[in-house]
Structure 1
Amino acid sequence: MILLEGKPIAEEIKARLKTEIAQMQDKPRLAIVMVGENAVSEKFVSLKEKFAREIGAETRRYEFPADITTNQLRERMRDLVHEARNDGVIVQLPLPESIDTQGILNAVVPEKDVDVLSARAVGDFQVGKYKTLPPVAGAIKALFEKYGIEIHGKRVVVVGYGRLVGQPVSVWAKREGAITTVIADPSQFDAEIIKNADIVISGAGVPNLIRGEHIKEGAIVVDAATDINFESVSEKASHITPRVGGVGPLTVAFVFENLVALAKSRK
């Protein structure tokens, strides 16, 4: 069994981005929109801020109260999106239930959409016209390239169909020529579909959803949302992401890969 270690690849990307930014006239800046208080979101944002400091990029938080309305937030988004110093904008998810999440994501113009979540950016990505890959898709692509994993013609099952993992990863897999099946709703989990998969990519956010008896011998398993029972799955998988240091560090790296790419394209 081979561990698909993302952290060393993220470190390589970090070193390259640091060199690229040192040669740029202006340091790229990432605007981070946060609404309300959420301990998990705070942790993820802190990781992004740390990565930015290490490569010489800038970040700026825009923090809003949990009781802000969609219209109020959209107005504030309009200002910060068009702020010239902001080369990229991300909206830290989840937003409060009272907020129209897609409406807010759509306020990010494609040329600053680092996460590739606005409807226009998603549409361009789906037809192969967007400049960058969504961060999780970019992370998984980098893992597969590093470990020599070919996806073309393989049976790929994507578990979960959320904005950040399932939707972009399934689009990317199909574009790469994989025979792709999506299990959108974890409550309709079909073990037989997974058992026939050459590659399983999970982003449902349901701990221990996938166990060793669900996969075939020699399957490649990527856990992007803590869905995998590592002990049992690792006994059968040929390749598997580790509990820590798999997709996560690479996803952060690709946020800044995208930021730098978008900043350069606008200069």
Structure 2
Amino acid sequence: MAANVIDGKALAAKCKARVAQEVRSFSRRPGLAVIIVGDNPASRTYVNSKRKDCEECGIYSEEYALPAEAGQDALMEVIRTLNAREDIDGILCQLPLPEGYDEEAVLLAIDPDKDVDGFHPVNVGRLSTGQPCFVPCTPAGVMEMLRECGIDPKGKECVVVGRSNIVGKPMAMLLLAAHGTVTICHSRTRDLGEVCRRADILVAAVGKRDLITADMVKEGAVVIDVAMNRNDAGKLCGDVDYGPVSEKVSYITPVPGGVGPMTRAMLMVNTLEAARRHGKA
């Protein structure tokens, strides 16, 4: 069989349209501040995309571009200033930071109620205990994709390959909260293929090209490819050997055009929620 391809671009556009409609009813526009340090080309591309998303959704945006040599103190001062501003509802510091910066200290410095990335330990703790919080955008986007496709994790075997704080761990917690039976795999998992073949829903989030091959998935599984890699020709690809796997599963996300657009859309959703918390609705 050929899989149903989950169109992340279309779903993201639908999501952003809902955000834009809600923003129009607000007494004041939600505000998002994005901080970028250094000249990482990938980071610059992401930041430019986020600015465009804000324009589409009617969200006010500001960018703070610091040179790589600006230093930790300068970055922390920007965050302190943004924490205090009533017109800024969300703060995002684009990662990774250049060498010499303390990323953990930066994440801790952002007000948890403005942490639209969902990386602050307060939000991580709230997520783990089932309390309202800002959820990291990529796993939140995956859950939205599953909902839009009518895929309910309840009672299903869910396997997450990858244990990062940004994707793997929160992804597992969200699937667990949706009543899935969750297994997390990583570099020390014995016989990864055997574990993956149990999955009704398989989320690949490692960053290793063609890690997930057709013999590692079962017929009819749902496969979500979160990773962004490049093949020998320099083209974007994920962790999943897309062609052969897509002939075997029921649903699959492409790379690019799958989870990536939904990640950006969920940033808009989180910013909208932050503005609600701050009384702008």
Bin of the TM-score, shorter chain as denominator length:
over 0.9
| 2:209 aligned counterpart, secondary structure | coil
Q: 1:249 aligns with which of 261, 267, 277?
A: 261
CA distance in 1, matches of 2:17, 2:191: 40
Please state how far the C-alpha of 1:189 moved relative to its aligned partner.
6.8
> Equivalent residue of 2:154, what SS?
coil
Q: Which amino acid is the alignment partner of residue 107 of structure 1?
A: A
Quick one: distance in 1 between partners of 2:135 and 2:158? Answer: 19
SS in 1 for 2:150: coil
In the other structure, the counterpart of 1:153 is: 155
Give the 3-state SS of the residue equivalent to 2:18 in structure 1. Answer: helix
Q: Tell me which residue corresponds to 1:19.
A: 21
Q: Who is 2:241 aligned against?
A: 229
The SS at the match of 2:32 is: strand
Do 2:57 and 2:268's aligned partners in 1 also have CA atoms closer than 8 Å? no
Contact 1:157 1:197 in 2 (8 A): yes
Cα offset, 1:174, TM superposition: 1.4
Q: Quick one: distance in 2 between partners of 1:70 and 1:52?
A: 27
> In 1, Cα distance between the equivalents of 2:225 and 2:47?
21
Q: List runs of 5+ in structure 1 lacking aligned partners.
A: none
What does 1:56-135 correspond to in 2, within 5 Å? 56-135=58-137
The 1:150/1:187 distance shift into structure 2, 3 A limit, reads: closer
What's the secondary structure of 2:109's corresponding residue?
coil
Rounded to whole Å, the distance in 2 between the matches of 1:237 and 1:266 is 43
- Aligned pairs, how many? 267
Q: How far apart, CA to CA, are the structure 2 residues paired with 1:73 and 1:233?
A: 44
Tell me, what secondary structure is at the counterpart of 1:104? Answer: helix
How far apart are residue 59 of structure 1 and its match? 1.2
Q: Which amino acid counterpart does residue 234 of structure 1 have in structure 2?
A: S
Please give the alpha-carbon distance, in whole angstroms, between the structure 2 residues aligned to 1:127 and 1:46: 34
Output aligned runs, 1:161-176, within 5 Å.
161-176=163-178
What is the alpha-carbon distance in structure 1 between the residues aligned to residue 206 and residue 102 of structure 2?
A: 21
Instruction: Measure the CA separation in 1 of the matches of 2:188 and 2:99.
Output: 21
Match of 1:200 in 2: 202
Q: Distance in 2 between matches of 1:187 and 1:59?
A: 42
Offset at residue 109 of structure 1 (A): 1.1
Partner of 2:252: 240
Match of 2:139 in 1: 137
Q: Residue 184 of structure 2 aligns to a residue in which SS? A: strand
Partner of 1:67, secondary structure, is: helix
Instruction: State the shift of 1:187 in Å.
Output: 8.6
List gaps (5 residues or longer) in structure 2: 228-237
State the distance in 2 between where 1:228 and 1:22 align: 40
Q: 1:241 is matched by which residue type in structure 2?
A: T
Q: CA RMSD in A?
A: 1.7
Structure 1 vs Structure 2: percent identity of aligned residues?
Answer: 34
**TM-score normalised per structure 2:** 0.89
**Separation in 1 of the partners of 2:76 and 2:172?**
29
Equivalent in the alignment of 2:233: none
Query: What TM-score results when the alignment is normalised by the length of structure 1?
Result: 0.94
CA drift of 1:194 comes to 1.0
